[in-house]
Amino acid sequence: MPPNRAQRAYPGRKNSRGAESRREILDATFRIASERGYDGTTVAEITKRTGLPASSIYWHFTDKDTLLAEVISDSYERWRAIQPTWAKSPAGDDLKASIDAVLTQMSEGIIGQPEFWRLGIMLAMEHRVTEAAARVRFREVRNDTLALLTSWWARALPGEHLRAVPDAAFAMARMTLAFGDGLFIASQIDGDINVDRFVSLLSVGLEAIAGHVLAGKERQQQ
C-alpha cells in the first residue's frame, strides 16, 4: 500500500509509532511474565494491558515464544546497564576488597532491577517437552554473565596458583552467580535484608572458598 499524504510528509511518524508500540508490548509482557510465568503470559492479557490489537503484537513478534525471548534480551540489557562491566572491573592486590566491590555492584543490579532475575528464574524452573526459546535465551545471557565473571576471577586470583588450577576462575564465577541467586531470593522473602552486611559476609566466604579451591586442587596434583 503506498504511503498516504501524512506518511509522505512525515516519514518518521510511522516508524516512531511502531517503535512505541513495540516498547509497550515488551514492557507489558515483561510485567505479565514476571507475575505469571510462561504459561500465564497470553496474547489476550498483553492486548488488555496495552490496549493494542493482537494483530499489532503479531506484526512485531512471530509468536509468544519469540516475544518472551525478546523480553529476556531486552530486560537483560537494561539490567546490565546498572551492572558493572566485570571485564573492566579492577582486581587489586587486596582480594577481599576487590570481591566486595564486585558483589556490591552486583547486588545493586539485583535490588535495583529484580524483575529480570525473577523472570529468568521462573522460566528456568519451568520444564517442558519442547524447550522454550525464552528459556534458551535466558541460559545464553546467563552464560554471558558467567563468562564476564570468569574473566574477572582470572585476573583477581593469584597468577601462580591460577596457572596450576586452570578451572578455578570458572568455579569461583559459578559461586558468585549462585550468590546472586541467593541474594535475589532473600531480598524477595525479606524486604528488610541488610544488603551491605550480606555482601560483607559473602565476600569473606568467597575469599575463603577461593583459597580452598586452589589449595585442594594443588594437593591433588602433588
How high is the pLDDT of residue 115?
Answer: 72
Q: Which amino acid is at 199?
A: V
Q: Which fold has domain 84-221?
A: Tetracycline Repressor; domain 2 (1.10.357)
Please list the pLDDT of the chain residue by residue as tens digits (222 residues): 444 444 445 455 556 677 889 999 999 998 898 888 788 889 999 999 999 999 999 999 998 889 988 988 888 887 777 655 554 555 556 788 888 888 887 787 777 777 777 777 777 777 664 567 888 888 888 898 899 889 888 888 877 666 677 788 898 899 888 888 888 888 778 777 788 888 888 888 888 888 887 776 544 444
Every domain of the chain with CATH number 1.10.10.60 lies at 5-61
How high is the pLDDT of residue 55?
Answer: 92
C-alpha span between 60 and 193 (Å, rounded): 40
DSSP state of 71: H
3-state secondary structure of 47: helix
DSSP result, 137-168: HHHHHHHHHHHHHHHHHHHHS-HHHHHH-TTH
Q: Which amino acid is at 59?
A: W
Alpha helices per DSSP H over 82-194: 95-112, 114-125, 133-156, 159-164, 168-189
Task: Count CA atoms closer than 13 A to 41's CA, side-chain side.
Answer: 25
Tell me the per-residue pLDDT of 110-169, one tens digit each, with 9 for 90 and over.
Answer: 777 777 777 777 777 776 645 678 888 888 888 988 998 898 888 888 776 666 777 888
5-61 carries CATH number 3.30.1330.10: no
Every domain of the chain with CATH number 1.10.357.10 lies at 84-221
